[in-house]
A and B are shown apart, each in its own frame.
Chain A
C-alpha cells in the first residue's frame, strides 16, 4: 500500500510505530522542543461544557497533543469550543468516532453518557480519557472494562489525587499516608473518614436537585433529546441540564457524583483496595429519598471484608457523629486533617519506608507505550463503584450486603436493579 493510501490511524500504527521510539522518555522530555507531526497524539473532546473546556485546555497545553474535533449538543457550547480549540465541531459523537483519525477520545459529558461514549470510543479504536465519576451505574462500568479490554485500549480516569498534588484537607499527597497505612504503622484494620472535619466536603446543597420546577421551553440552540440520550425522558427545565445536572439521579448523584471519586479513589488507593469493594454498605439519609432529585444525606458507612471501613459524612444533614475524628484511624495511630500524626513520631518513619509501586501518571506515556495508566479502567471502576454503592444505599435506605467478586448485592433484587438500569431507546450498552 502506498503512503498516500494510509489513513491517519493506520499511519500511526504502521510506520509510526516509531512513535513508540519515544515511549520511555519521561514527561519532561516529551515536552521538549517541537515534536514531529508523527509524534503528535490526536484528540477529540466530546462534551464541551465546563469540564469539557478544561479538557480542551489539557490538549491545547500538551506539546504533543493535537485537537482535531470537539462535540456538543448545545450549539453555544460547541461554538465556544470550536473557537477556543481551533478545530472542527460536531453535534453527534458518532461522527467524531467515525473520523478514524482520533487517538484519544475525551469524555467530559454528564455522567449518564460516560459509559456509552467510552464503549463506542473503544470500539472505534480510540484510547479513552474519561471524566469522573467513571460511570453512572456499576453495570456500565463493567461494560466499559469489557470494551476497553476487548479492543486493547488505554483508559484514563480524570481524577488525580492518588498521584500527586495535595489531597484537599490533608495538605499532602496520598503517598505518605499510604506508606504509613500499608506498612502497618497505624495497625489494621483502619477506618478512613471523609467529612468536612477531615477536609472533604461533599457540597450536597450546591448539587441538590429541584422538585417543583415547571417545564420550560427547550432553547433552540440545545438538542435536549440528544443531551438526555440514554436517560429517561423528563420535561425540560434549565436546572436539569448545564451546571446543575448532578442534582438528578438520572444523570449523576449530587455531591457524591461531583466529589465522591476525587475523595474515594485516593482512599481506595491508601487502603490497597484497588481490586475489591466493600461488603456492607449502610446510609443514614432522609426517607424516602426523592425519586428524581438528589437531595441530602447524612452519613454512608462502608465496610470491607477485612474490617477496614470508609465513613462518609456530609455534615449537611442529621447528627454529626464524626466531628473531631481523624482522617485515618487504626489501633496504633491516627492521621488528622493537615497530616497531623498521632503519635507524632509516625512521620519520622516515612523516610525508612518503601515507596509504593510507581504508577504511570502521564497519559501520553500510556498511549505511546501501551502500558496501563495509573488510574485505569479497573481501578477507576472500583473507586466509582464506591460512589455508586453509596448512591444505592441512599436510595434504598437499608443495610446492603455486596459481593465484591460478582459485583451484585446479596439477597436484594431491588438494589441489584440499580446496577444495570435500562436505557432509553435507541441507546443500549
Chain B
C-alpha cells in the first residue's frame, strides 16, 4: 500500500498526464502498467481502463491472473470499462477460471455486465444477449441473475414477455421473485393481462410481490384480478391487493374496498380504507354516496370515513340522511364527517339531529359537529342564531348539549368590548369548564386580561392557559394561576398562536364564571 506521498500519487499523475484523450494512452500503457509495482499498478490499470483503450486489453487481461487480488480485481474492472469483443472474451475466460465463491467473481460479473450494457448502447444486442444469458445461469447469485434478466428483457423486444413469464411460471419461488422485479419493464396491456392472470397461480409470497408490481405498472387492465385478490385467504395478499387498488382502482373498486375495510381489522382495514380514500378518477365520490344506500352498516361506516377524508363536500345531504339512520355507528360517523364537511346551510338540520341523538358518544359527536359548523360562520353574532330556538323545547341531556354548544360558539358578549355584557357559564363554575377564542390568524400573544367587574365574584378561582395554532395540538399549559379579583391578568413569554383557551381549574358552589371583557395583548 502506498504509504508515502511519492508512491501513492502515481495513479493521479498518470491520469492527469493522459488527460481525457485516448491518443496518448496506447503509447504509455505497456511501459507504465507493466513496470509499476504493487498497489500503484492497480491505480495505473484503473487509469488505463478509464481511457477505454482497447489496445491495452490483452496486457490488462494477463493481470487478472495476478495472485494479488487487488491487481486482479482492478484488471477485471478496467476490462469492463474498456468493453468490446476482446475484453468480453477475456472476462468470460476469467469467469470460467474463477470459482463461484472466488473473491474475483463479483468484480468479473460486474465488469461482464458492464460490457453487455455497452454492447446494448452500441446497438449490438445479440452480443449483449449472449452475455446476459451466461450470467443468468443457475450457478450465479440472485442479484447477478436479476441483473442479467433485466438485460435480457431490454434486448429481447417482442420476446421479452415470454422471457419473464418463464421464470414467473416456474415452481421455484426464487425465480418467481426475480421475474416479478421485471414485470414493470415490459409495456403494454397484453403484458399486464398476462401477468395479472398469473396471480392465482404463483406462490403466496410471489403474489404479494406481483400485486405490488402490477400497481407500479399502473395499468387498469389488471383490475379484475386485483379486485379478486381482495378475497384471498392470506392476509398479506389481501393487504397487497388493497394497497394496489389505491393506485390502480377506479369507481368499480369502491364497494370492494369498502367491504374489505369493513370486514377486516387493524392494519388490514386501514390499508383498505386508505386506498378507498386515495382512489382517483371520475365519479368516485358519487359512487361512494350511491353505495351508502345499499351497503350494510359496517360498510357504510367505512364509506362515510372515506368521504370525510376525501373532503367530499357535495356528500353533505347524503351524510345528513345517514345521521338519521337506524344504526348508531353510522349516525355517529356521519356526525363526525359532517363537522368537517358541512357549512352553515346545514346548521339547522344538524341542530335538529342533535336533539334526536341517543347515547353519549353519538351526542358528543353531534355536539362537536354543530359547534364546529357554527364556528365556520364568520359573524360571531350569527353563530347561535340556529341553536337558540331549539333551547326552550329541549330537556335534560339535550338542553345540556345545546348549552355546551352555545358555550363553545357564543363568545361574542365577552369580546364586544362592552363591560355591561358578559359571557358566563350559566351555572356555578366547575373544574374543566373552558373558554376558547379563535383569532382567525396567528398573532403574538403575551398577556391575557379577564375582566368581570360588573359581576365581581365571577372571576375564575383557578385557571390554565393554553395556546394552539391548529385547535388540535395544545401542548402544556402556558400559564397557570388562581384568580383573586375581578381583573385577572395572565402574563407570559410572548409567542404566536391562533387559538387561546382558558380552562377553569377552580370551583365555586354558587358563583358563575363570567367574562365581561377579554383582552389579548402582544406583550
Contacts and interface: CB of A to CB of B under 8 A. Distances in A.
A26 B71 CA distance: 46
Contacts of B142: 9-10, 13, 125
B457 to A, nearest CB: 37
Contacts of B107: 123
B145 to A, nearest CB: 9
Contact of A17 (B106, B176, B311): B176
Given A23-B236, A426-B43, A17 B174 contact: yes
Contacts of A100: 101, 141
Contacts of A18: 173, 203-205
A14 B172 contact: yes
B42 A425 contact: yes
Interface stretch (A64-72, A145-153, A258-266, A302-310): A145-153
B236 A17 contact: no
A26 B113 contact: no
A225 B143 contact: no
Contacts of A340: 442, 496
A13 B469 contact: no
Given A17-B205, A24-B240, A28-B267, A426 B74 contact: yes
Interface in B1-53: 1-5, 8-12, 15-16, 39-44, 46
B243 A151 contact: no
Interface string B455-498: 00000000000000110000000000000000000000000101
Contact of A339 (B15, B270, B469): B469
Interface stretch (B206-214, B356-364, B400-408): B206-214
A122 B340 CA distance: 49
A232 B236 contact: no
A14 B144 contact: no
A422 interface: yes
A339 B473 CA distance: 14
Nearest to A94: B103
Contact of B267 (A14, A25, A345): A25
A21 B208 contact: yes
Interface residues of B, number: 72
A344 interface: yes
A422 B11 contact: yes
A76 to B, nearest CB: 21
A9 B141 contact: yes
Dominant secondary structure at the B interface: helix
B174 A14 contact: yes
A283 interface: no
B43 A425 contact: yes
B371 interface: no
B46 A232 contact: no
Given A14-B172, A123-B110, A344-B441, A23 B240 contact: yes
Contacts of A28: 267
Contact of B40 (A21, A233, A425): A425
Nearest to B1: A225
B77 interface: yes
Contacts of A341: 442
Contact of A153 (B44, B117, B143): B143
B32 to A, nearest CB: 12
A423 B11 contact: yes
Contacts of A130: none
Given A23-B240, A123-B107, A17 B173 contact: yes
B120 interface: no
> Residue among B40, B70, B236 with the most chain A CB within 10 A?
B236
B267 A152 contact: no
A19 B208 CA distance: 11
Interface string B212-254: 1000100000000000000000101001100100000000000
B382 interface: no
A425 B441 contact: no
A94 B114 CA distance: 21
> Which 3 residue pairs spanning A and B have beta carbons closest together?
A425-B43, A344-B441, A426-B42
15 contacts: A10-B141, A19-B205, A20-B177, A21-B205, A21-B234, A23-B209, A97-B106, A151-B143, A233-B3, A340-B442, A344-B441, A370-B181, A425-B8, A425-B41, A426-B71
